[in-house]
Amino acid sequence: MRVLVVEDEPLLADAIAEWLRDEAHAVDLAHDGASALERAGVNDYDVVVLDRDLPVVHGDDVCRELVTAGAAARVLMLTAAAEITDRVAGLGLGADDYLTKPFAFAELAARVLALGRRSRPAAPPTLRRAGITLDPARREVFRDGRYVPLARKEFAVLAELLRADGAVVSAEQLLEKVWDEHADPFTGAVRLTVLKLRRKLAEPPVIETVKGAGYRIP
């Protein structure tokens, strides 16, 4: 999934981003509300992890703007305020979930995954197609009962192809969902990752290249 983490404490922001990247998500960072709105206006995020107390533009205003603009991203609001009234106020702004600081990174990752499922058309938690089984929660992949160890990007690319349910996914779409905003659109990263993925999934070939369009698992 593509996730935007908005947190003005750089060390915490980096820690959240690293944890989510370990879960095979593509993560962008913003350290103030204005930067968050700018990125959200350019990129299609599945989830926004939003600190409430932000400089430049307050987190409440960021959340309100995302909702008003009709953004598809689900919002997980972070705050040090643990009172019930604070949580109710945050949810009232349009946030989809609310997590108080300090928090466990594992819980944050689980909530992000759950919200990401809600930002897309309904899909089973475990993805299956062409003899492949992918469990996003456990980060496990099997083909015809054989465990397939995958690197983070390989896992994320496979998940996007499986979610497409047989439709073609372009290299641009994979860059958008699996890599972050620093990815070079002219890079061969997608092609190389698909090549490695094919090798690990072994014979018979399951990922089809559609010339001039992208990739699919028919």
For residues 30-64, one letter each, b for 16 or more C-beta atoms within 10 angstroms of the residue's C-beta and e for the rest, the string is bbbbebbbebbeeeebbbbbbbbebeebebbebbe
Boundary of a domain, candidates 60, 93, 117: 117
Higher pLDDT, 187 or 141: 141
Please, what is the average pLDDT of the chain?
Answer: 87
* Number of structural domains in the chain: 2
Residues 99/51, Cβ–Cβ less than 8 Å:
no
**Residue 122 falls within a domain, yes or no?**
no
The pLDDT score that the predictor gives to residue 184 is 65
The pLDDT score that the predictor gives to residue 39 is 92
Question: Rounded distance, CA 76 to CA 115, Å?
Answer: 8
In terms of domains, do 94 and 156 share one?
no
Tell me, rounded to whole angstroms, the distance of Cα 65 from its chain centroid.
Answer: 21
Helix (H, G, I), strand (E, B) or coil at 147: strand
In terms of domains, do 98 and 157 share one?
no
Residues 131/162, Cβ–Cβ less than 8 Å:
no
Host domain of residue 140? 127-216
pTM of the model: 0.62
**Residue 166 falls within a domain, yes or no?**
yes
Q: Convert the pLDDT of each residue in 12-28 to its tens digit.
A: 999 999 999 988 898 99
In terms of domains, do 24 and 55 share one?
yes
Q: Convert the pLDDT of each residue in 44-84 to its tens digit.
A: 899 999 998 899 999 999 998 988 888 888 999 988 766 66
